[in-house]
Amino acid sequence: MLWVKAFHIVFVASWFAGLFYLPRIYVNLAMVPPESVAERERLLLMARKLLRFTTLLAAPAIGFGVWLWLGFGVGRGAGWLHVKLVVVLLVVGYHHACARLLKRFEVGSDRRGHLWYRWFNEVPVLLLLAAVVLAVVKPL
């Protein structure tokens, strides 16, 4: 089980690295002047590649997490684990929101400013903090 836990941690850390950086690209996209077509296309290419790579990292992170959950015992009375599963669902939702935002940038329909994306970029930090505290401290 320690190998499974080690791989889970590596893939979760890698997944979050992508979730930390992708919205930073969105901040830059929101700041690109309309006449800078080449800069916009370069940032969109970077965002597409990073989203694809981050999605590939999410799958084993979730898979190893499910393996650990099954090993721990589904339905056991640990409140921290149930709350952590909610946090995982929120992370998956954030990942999905990143994909939707990229589609909006690609078609030119996004009208949010760079400040909104700077705040949006802080969400995975809070989610990672919650997940780590729940898994390590087990406060519930």
CA–CA gap between residue 14 and residue 27 (Å, rounded): 21
For the chain, 140 residues long, give each residue's pLDDT as a single digit of tens: 889 999 999 999 999 999 999 999 999 999 999 899 999 999 999 999 999 999 999 999 999 999 988 887 656 667 888 899 999 999 999 999 999 999 999 999 988 999 999 999 999 999 999 999 998 898 87
For residue 133, what is the DSSP state?
A: H
* Largest pairwise CA distance in the chain: 57
Percentages of the chain per state (helix, strand, coil), in multiples of 5? 85, 0, 15
